[in-house]
Each structure stands twice: as C-alpha cells, then as structure tokens.
Structure 1
Amino acid sequence: MTGVTLQKAIKRYGDVQVIHGIDLQIEDGEFCVFVGPSGCGKSTLLRMIAGLEETTEGQMHIGTRDVTHMDPSERGVAMVFQTYALYPHMTVKENMGFGLKMNGVPKAEIDAKVKAASDVLKLDSYLDRKPAALSGGQRQRVAIGRAIVRGPEVFLFDEPLSNLDAELRVEMRVEIARLHKEIGATMIYVTHDQVEAMTLADKIVVLRLGKIEQVGAPLELYRNPDNKFVAGFIGSPAMNFLQGTVVEGGVEVPGLGRTVAVEATLPAAGTAVTLGIRPEHLEVQIGQGALKAELSEALGGVSYLHLDTPNGERIIVEERGDERASEGDTVDVTFEARRAMVFDASTEARIR
C-alpha cells in the first residue's frame, strides 16, 4: 500500500474552474475523508485521483509514481461507487472475480482471492447467490469485495452508503472501519455526511467551492476550526451562531441580552463578530431569561431544544438528564467562556 500526493491540482471544464490548486498529502495506510456540501468538488477530486477525470493542471502521485496522465487501469486504484453496479445475471463469486477474469488471471488465483475477500467481508454463505437475492448492505459488501480482489494500492469510495437506509448505513460504516483496520490500506472516502466523516476518518479534508478549507483529525476540526464554515459543518447538530459586537469585557450578544466573556484576543471595540457555541455546551435554566422554547425533539437519552431569541435568531440546545424544558417554556442559557468561539463577521475567520 502507499500514499497519495496532490500538488496544485486544478480541474477546468472549458472556462469554468471547479478545483482550485489543491495541495494535499495522504499518508500510507491513512483513512482520508473528503467532506463538504453538494457542489464543493469532493467527488470531482476523487475521480481525478481515479483517472476518471483529467487533471487540467498540477501533479498527482501515488507512492513514487507520477500518475497525473495515466489511464485508470494503470494507477493501482479500485473504486467503490454510490451505485453497486453488480451484474444481475452473475453470482456473488462471479461478480467479485469478473475483473480478474477479464485480465486473464488464472482461475485458481481468482478463486483464492475471492475466498480471501469473502472471508474478510463475511460473504462466504452468499457466494452462490445473485444480487437480486441480497440486501442493500450485502450488495455493497460485494462491491467492496470486487475492489479488494484487485489488490489495489489505494481504495476510493464515492458516497458508498447514500443508497442505504439509516440502520444499514450504521452497519456498513462499522464494516468499512473494520475493513480498514484489518487490511491497513490507504482509503479515500467521499461523503456529504459529517457523521460518517467523524467516525471513519484518520484525516478529514473539508472542501468548499473547489478549495480546501481545513485539513485535520476529526476531533481537531471539531475543537479547533479555522473558520465559521468548518465550525458549522463539523458537529451535529450544527454550531449555533449569534451576531455580536466587541465591547469592553467581551462580546455583546443582543440575542442573549448580555455581554459574554470569551477566551480570545478580541479586536477593537465596536468590531462586528459572530459568536459560536455548540448545542452540547449550552445549559438551560428553566423559567429564567427571555428565550422561548419553540420545539423540543425528544430522542430518548437526549433532547434537542429549539429556542427563539428576541431578535429572531435560533438556538439549539442539547439536553440530557431527567429535567428538560418543554415547548412554550421561558428559558435562559449559560456556557463556559472557554467553550465559546469568535469569528470575524466579514471574513468568517476564527479569532483566537
């Protein structure tokens, strides 16, 4: 297995540039997740690595090889798509081994590789079935098995779980994490689901409009986002953002009706800023303050309380324990100063 290096990678479609000079190093054996909203360029970047999209400018290396203009078949990668793309008339065993068969690999070697992959993916009892007799999760495992038998240097996943229901997504997420630990391969995974990114990744690459916003370990991005976009994208529910103004002693926040102390080196008084605080870092005082509880989503061990502020901003609070606010309650919220983040209102950069 080996790593992947992108140097000033650019992609244009005619006069439209969609990938803007990406520099990225993915280490050998690393699980790297590209995440971002629809249209941010994450799938295009993955397809450039696969060779399915031509790199307009820049360089791309897999290990020590310059693969920038190599055909996909020469790059040593295997790709798992959103759609399973299984041959309906073939059995699981035939689907997994078909690529090797077309490349003239001896039957005994194909059988051995298919057996090894089916052992890893727990598909032994399904090898003689056809895709129509499999569940969605089993079909996706077959698609992954087809990639494994090729013995690639790098595995590429393009939103492989988006067609599955919620329960199967969790199951397959665990399967993919286990697979990575077992075979130790370099894996690059595209998703718009930040929960998948947080639970699977060694390294997350947050993309917006064809540019990298931040790269880091999941908890590093959660705890130390560089800007408002990353802070809002990483974490579920999303971070709350409230308008504020720098004053002596902290940030005056109209939505909370008070000045908030923060642990940051603030700019000059009068500067417009945005205060960010995560739902799980807020505490509710029922019967106090001027915030109105509009909705409470009770999920069992946790509830999400939706609050309206006097100036029309919205706040979500994560509540646990036995005593929780109800719809219609008047509440106040408090939080530790170290939990608050401050962002420049114009540039959205983090003020530390």
Structure 2
Amino acid sequence: MSGLTISNVIKRYGEVQVMHGVDLDIEDGEFCVFVGPSGCGKSTLLRMIAGLEETTEGSIHIGARDVTRMDPSERGVAMVFQTYALYPHMTVKENMGFGLKMNGHPRAEIDKKVAEATRILKLEEYLSRKPAALSGGQRQRVSIGRAIVRGPEVFLFDEPLSNLDAELRVEMRVEIARLHKEIGATMIYVTHDQVEAMTLADKIVVLRAGRIEQVGAPLELYRDPDNKFVAGFIGSPAMNFLGGSVKGGKVQVPALDADLEIPVTLPEDGRAVTVGLRPEHLAVDPNGSTHIVELTEALGGVSYAYLMSTTGEKIVIEERGDIRSNEGDTVGISYDPATAMVFDGETELRIR
C-alpha cells in the first residue's frame, strides 16, 4: 500500500478553472474523505487521482511514483462508482475476476483473489448470481470486491452509497469501515453526506469552489473550524449563525437579546461579526419571552426546536430528555457564552 501526495494541482476546462492549486498529503493506510457542496470539485479531484480527468498543472504522486501523466491502468488505483458498473450478463464471480482475466492473469490466481475478496465481503452465497438477482447493497459489495481483487495501492470511492436507501447506507457504511480495518489500505472517499464523513474518516478534506478550506480529523473540524463555511458545513443540524457587533469588549447579539463576554481577542468596536452556536449548546428557557417556537421535530431520544427571534433570525435547539417544547410557545434561550464561536463579518475567518 502507499500514501498519496497532491502538489499544486490545477484543473481547467478551456478557460474555466475549476481546481485552484490544491496541495494535500494522504498517509499510507489513511481513510481520507472529500466533502463539500455540489460543484466544489471533490469528484473532479478524485477522478484526477484516478487518471479519468487530465491534470492541467501540478503533480500527483502515489508512494514514490509520479502518476500525473500515467494511464489509469498503470496508477495502482481501483475505483468504486455509485452506479455499481457491473456486467449484467456475468455472475458475481465473473464480474469480480473479469479485470484480472482481461489482463492475462492465470485462472488459479484469479480464483484465489476472488475467494479472498468473497470472504472479506461475505459474498459466498451469491457467487453464481447475476446482478439482477442482487439487492443494491449486494451489488455495491460486488463492486467493492472487484476493486479488492486488483490489489490496488489506493482505493477510490465516488459517492458509493448515494443510490442506497437509509437502512442499507448504514449497513454498507459499517461494511466499508470494517473493510478498511481488515485490509489497512489507503482509501479516498467522496461524499456529500457528512455522517459518512464523520464516521468513516481518519482525515476530512473540506472543499469549496475548487479550493481546500480545511483539513483535519472529524472532531477537530467539528470543534475547531477555521472559518464560517467549515463550521456551517460540519455538523447536523447546522450551526446557528447570528449577526452581531463588537462594543466595549463584548459581542452584542440582537437575536439573543444579549451582550456576550466571549474569551477571544475581539476586533475594534463597531466591527460586524457572526456568532456561531451549535444546537446542542443551547437550551430552551420556558420562563423567557424572546422567541417563538415555530416547529418541533421529535426523533425519539432527541428532538429539535426551531425558534424565531424577535429580530427575525431562526435558531435551532437540540432537546433531550422528557421535557420538550411545543409549537407556539413563547420562550427564551439559555447558553454558555464559552461555547460560542466568533467569525469576522467580512472575511468569515474564525476569531480566536
């Protein structure tokens, strides 16, 4: 297995530049997840690593090899697509071994590698079936098995679970996590689902408009985002962002009807800032009268109250236990100012 290094990678389509000097190191055996909104460049970057998209400028190294201009078949990568891409007329066993067969590998070697992949993915009882006789989750396991038999240095996953229903997504997420632990391979995974990112990744790369916003471990990005974009993208429900301004060493937040003392170095008086508070760091105060509960969502062990402030800003609060808000209630909000994050109103960078 090998790590991967991306150095100053740029991608252009004609005069349109979509990747802007990306630099990234992925360690050997690491599970790295690319996340970001639609059109941010995460799938484009993955396809450049695979060799399915040409790299306009910069370099891509897998281990010590410069693979920037290599054909996909020479790079030592295997890609798992969201569409499965299985041959409908072939059995599971034939699908898994087809790539090795086309490259002239001996049948005994093919059978051995297919058997090993079958064991890892628990596909023994499906080997003689064709894709039409499999569920979506089983088809995706076959697609992953086809990648395993190639013995790649790097596995690439392009939103592999997006076509599955909610229950199967959870099941396959567990399967992929177990697979990574068992074979210890370097894996790069693209998703728009932050639950997948938070649960699978050793390292998350947050992309926006072809640039890396921040790289770090899942909890590092959650607890210590560098800017408003990362803070809002990581976490579900998303962080609450409330407008404020600096005055006398405090942050005035009209939506909370409060002046917050926040333990950071604030800019000069009058500067516009944004205060970020996560839903789990807020609580409903039934004795208050500054907000109206517009909607509640009960999800079993947790519920979410959607409040509207007198200033017209919406706030989401996570509630646990038996005491839940009711729609139409007039309430207040309690919180610990130390949990608040402050972002510059102009640059959107975190103020620490």
Normalization by structure 1: what TM-score? 0.99
Could you say which residue in structure 1 is the equivalent of 2:116? Answer: 116
Whether contact under 8 Å (2:249, 2:266) holds in the other structure is no
Q: Secondary structure at the match of 1:288?
A: coil
- Aligned-partner residue type, residue 91 of structure 2: T
- How far apart in 2 are the matches of 1:230 and 1:347? 13
Cα offset, 1:249, TM superposition: 4.3
Could you say which residue in structure 1 is the equivalent of 2:10? Answer: 10
Cα offset, 1:287, TM superposition: 3.4
- How far apart in 2 are the matches of 1:158 and 1:144? 12
Could you say which residue in structure 1 is the equivalent of 2:337? Answer: 337
Could you say which residue in structure 2 is the equivalent of 1:63? Answer: 63
- How far apart in 2 are the matches of 1:36 and 1:263? 30
Could you say which residue in structure 2 is the equivalent of 1:208? Answer: 208
**Pairwise CA RMSD of aligned residues?**
0.7
Instruction: Give per-residue Cα distances to partners, 1:61-109, cap 9 Å, x unaligned.
Output: 0000000100000000000001001111111000000000111111111
- How far apart in 1 are the matches of 2:262 and 2:170? 37
- Aligned-partner residue type, residue 231 of structure 1: A
Contiguous gaps of at least 5 residues in structure 1: none
Could you say which residue in structure 2 is the equivalent of 1:82? Answer: 82
Could you say which residue in structure 2 is the equivalent of 1:244? Answer: 244
Cα offset, 1:302, TM superposition: 0.4
Q: What is the correspondence of 1:76-155 to structure 2 with a 5 Å cutoff?
A: 76-155=76-155
- How far apart in 2 are the matches of 1:237 and 1:204? 18
- How far apart in 2 are the matches of 1:351 and 1:211? 21
Q: Secondary structure at the match of 1:289?
A: coil
Whether contact under 8 Å (2:293, 2:305) holds in the other structure is yes
- How far apart in 2 are the matches of 1:287 and 1:84? 55
Q: Secondary structure at the match of 1:5?
A: strand
Q: Residue 179 in 1 paired to residue 173 in 2?
A: no
- Aligned-partner residue type, residue 67 of structure 1: V
- How far apart in 2 are the matches of 1:343 and 1:20? 24
Whether contact under 8 Å (1:92, 1:128) holds in the other structure is yes
Cα offset, 1:333, TM superposition: 1.1
Could you say which residue in structure 1 is the equivalent of 2:255? Answer: 255
- How far apart in 2 are the matches of 1:142 and 1:179? 13
- How far apart in 2 are the matches of 1:120 and 1:169? 18
Q: What is the correspondence of 1:309-348 to structure 2 with a 5 Å cutoff?
A: 309-348=309-348
- How far apart in 2 are the matches of 1:254 and 1:245? 9
Instruction: Give per-residue Cα distances to partners, 1:274-313, cap 9 Å, x unaligned.
Output: 0000001111111313100000000110001000011111
Whether contact under 8 Å (1:249, 1:259) holds in the other structure is no
Whether contact under 8 Å (1:37, 1:192) holds in the other structure is yes
- How far apart in 2 are the matches of 1:261 and 1:180? 45
- How far apart in 1 are the matches of 2:336 and 2:253? 15
Q: Residue 289 in 1 paired to residue 289 in 2?
A: yes
- Aligned-partner residue type, residue 214 of structure 1: Q
- Aligned-partner residue type, residue 205 of structure 1: V
Whether contact under 8 Å (1:263, 1:340) holds in the other structure is no
Q: Secondary structure at the match of 2:157?
A: strand
- How far apart in 2 are the matches of 1:209 and 1:55? 17
- How far apart in 2 are the matches of 1:221 and 1:63? 27
Instruction: Give per-residue Cα distances to partners, 1:304-344, cap 9 Å, x unaligned.
Output: 10000111111000000011111011111121122100000
- How far apart in 2 are the matches of 1:131 and 1:263? 58
- Aligned-partner residue type, residue 46 of structure 2: L
Cα offset, 1:188, TM superposition: 0.2
Cα offset, 1:260, TM superposition: 1.6
Instruction: Give per-residue Cα distances to partners, 1:153-206, cap 9 Å, x unaligned.
Output: 000000000000011011100100000000000000000111111000000000
- How far apart in 1 are the matches of 2:191 and 2:93? 28
Q: Secondary structure at the match of 2:55?
A: coil
Q: Residue 229 in 1 paired to residue 210 in 2?
A: no
Normalization by structure 2: what TM-score? 0.99
Cα offset, 1:264, TM superposition: 1.1
> Which segments of structure 1 move beyond 2 Å, counting only runs of 4 or more?
none
- Aligned-partner residue type, residue 216 of structure 2: G
Could you say which residue in structure 2 is the equivalent of 1:161? Answer: 161
Could you say which residue in structure 2 is the equivalent of 1:268? Answer: 268
- Aligned-partner residue type, residue 115 of structure 1: A
Contiguous gaps of at least 5 residues in structure 2: none
Q: Secondary structure at the match of 1:304?
A: strand
Instruction: Give per-residue Cα distances to partners, 1:183-242, cap 9 Å, x unaligned.
Output: 000000000111111000000000000000000000000000000000000000000000
- Aligned-partner residue type, residue 301 of structure 1: G
